[in-house]
Amino acid sequence: MPPKNDFLPVFEQLKNILKPFEPKLTVTADTPGAYSLDGPYSEKWKKQLFFGSAQIKKNYVSFYLMPVYMFPDLLKNISPELRKHMQGKSCFNFKKVEPALFEELEELTRMSVEKFRRENMSRRSNISQLAGNRKP
């Protein structure tokens, strides 16, 4: 199904929240309606972890951020407005561009990367570089 044109600006902005982390993660989808990143290999879970994605759906654009499922404490300070866009434990749905909420989601994504690093999810990858730090 081709992406709905009215959702393309929403999708592009949500995709741009994830793109800065592309060099350190694995791109698993990059199409006109879906963009997805996997995190590094996890010694804890013995597999590469899904990190997040933006996907155009029938009635909205979804932004998935798996670290908020794995570490629910990341959600403790999100605004009630952003929480209203949550569906389930790690998905946010949007029908239009919402700059203030997208800024908050960008910060939440950055904090999610830092949480990965702090929790030392992988000994085989340089996870500290995900958050822009050079020190382990």
Condensed to tens digits (0 to 9), the pLDDT of residues 61-105 reads 999 999 999 999 999 999 999 999 999 999 999 999 999 999 999
Percent of the chain with pLDDT over 90: 65
Rounded Cα distance between 93 and 122, Å, is: 30
User: b/e string for 50-79 if b means 16 or more Cβ within 10 A?
Assistant: bbbbbbbeeebbbbbbbbbebeeebbeebe
- In this structure, the dihedral spanned by the alpha carbons of residues 55, 125, 42 and 82, taken in order and rounded to 10 degrees, is -40
pLDDT for the residue numbered 72: 95
19-62 pLDDT tens trace: 999 887 899 999 999 999 998 777 777 888 899 999 999 999 99
The token pair that represents 60 in the structure block: 């909205």
- Domains by residue range for the chain, with CATH: 5-131 (3.90.1150)
Can you give the pTM of this predicted structure? Answer: 0.83
Would you call 52 helix, strand, or coil by DSSP? strand
